[in-house]
Structure 1
Amino acid sequence: MTDRERTRLVAWSHELRRVHSKMREALQVTQQAVRVGQSGAPATRELLIYCRGFCAALDGHHRGEDRALFPAIEAAHPHLAPVLRSLERDHSMLANLLQSLGSAVERAAPPDELELHLEGVAAIMENHFRYEERQLLVVLEGLELRAAVKDVLGPL
């Protein structure tokens, strides 16, 4: 294996950390937008954009993992199948939470209700990211996966 190939392989662990960091930042920006709008008034157009953007980014990240990353990991490391199934269940749970948040945004729910939705997403998302990083970062350092980062880890 050449140095360049090794660099690309190790990069998957760095890319996962980078995407998780971007997701955390996007969530914080969205939460801040909700807090600023907590006058009890319906969500502003700007807040709707933040919420929709965050939901789309997190969902896109998880769809990429389910479609490309997890099958590649399982092929190389079949013993990780239970870990991957657990992460996929988290993805499903987060998709439901994001759908509930999206519904609240669509009906212009008050900021305090949106903040409750975001707190639920934040709790599950952070727990999921930490577990995923503990279980998969070392595996990702040696994973042979030739694909575009956005196809594997989402658009961020």
Structure 2
Amino acid sequence: MKTPLEPSDRLTAFGNQLIEVHLWLREELTRLREGVDSYLDGHGERPRELRAHCLTFCSALSRHHTGEDDGAFPVLAEQFPELRPVLEELARDHHMVTGILRRLEELLGGLGAEMEPGPAEARRVRAELDGLSALLESHFVYEEKRIVAALNSLSAPSWKGSRPDFLLTTPPS
């Protein structure tokens, strides 16, 4: 991996880093869906591990979107005013994702209980995961098409010292 020598080289990577984070989030969601399917088929991890995996994924996705809403989007809106309608649409998607994550966490909380979930609960968990997956795929593709070039050309002096929250795949130290 090339180490940037100039500040402009470092800044150019932000859009590419966003794509990498989206790929990681897609992979984690796929792993979560596979784990839930396997558990519901009677072959997977115990409910406690599935719940922990879901909470970890939900936390990472929430941190990513909060970082965009509170950090990246205001900077982009200031430097690229023509992107404001796009950024507003992306923020609306974030709100919908938050609702799905909340419902998913509530549903998966039941997987950690003593009683096994019935077919109705299993279908609800799977439906929420399917909805989340469809929304995120559409959201990520749209976001990548509309803002990666702007991120790659962005001048954000406050980001020079460390990676902003929306580009993290592990919790900050």
Common fold: TM-score over 0.5:
yes
Partner of 2:163: 149
1-structure distance, mates of 2:41, 2:24: 28
1:149 is paired with a residue whose SS is coil
Paired amino acid for 2:154? L
Question: Hey, what's the Cα distance between the residues in 2 that align with 1:31 and 1:4?
Answer: 41
Deviation at 1:113, TM superposition (A): 2.5
Q: 1:120 aligns with which of 125, 131, 134?
A: 131
Q: Which runs of 5+ in 2 are unaligned?
A: 112-116
Report what 1:104 is aligned to: 107
User: SS of the counterpart of 2:153?
Assistant: coil
- Specify the alignment match of 1:46 in structure 2: 49
Question: Alpha carbon RMSD of aligned pairs, Å?
Answer: 2.0
Q: Are the structure 2 counterparts of residues 121 and 134 from structure 1 closer, same or farther at C-alpha, using a change threshold of 3 Å? A: same
| Percent identity between the two aligned chains | 33
Q: Is the 8 A contact 1:15 1:149 kept in 2?
A: no
Find the partner of 2:17 among 15, 18, 22: 15
Query: Which residues in structure 2 correspond to 1:45-124 (within 5 Å)?
Result: 45-108=48-111, 109=117, 110-124=121-135
Q: Which of 139, 144, 156 is the matching residue for 1:133?
A: 144
Deviations 1:81-131 (A, max 9, x none): 100000000000000011010110112254433221110000000000000
Give the TM-score normalised by structure 2. 0.82
Q: 2:34 aligns with which of 5, 18, 32?
A: 32
Runs of 4 or more off by more than 6 Å in structure 1?
none
> Residues of 2 paired with 1:30 and 1:149: CA distance?
26
Amino acid at match of 1:123: A
> What is the aligned length?
154
**How much does 1:45 deviate?**
1.0
- Distance of 1:111 and 1:39 partners within structure 2: 10
Are the aligned partners of 1:29 and 1:50 in contact in 2 as well (CA < 8 Å)? no
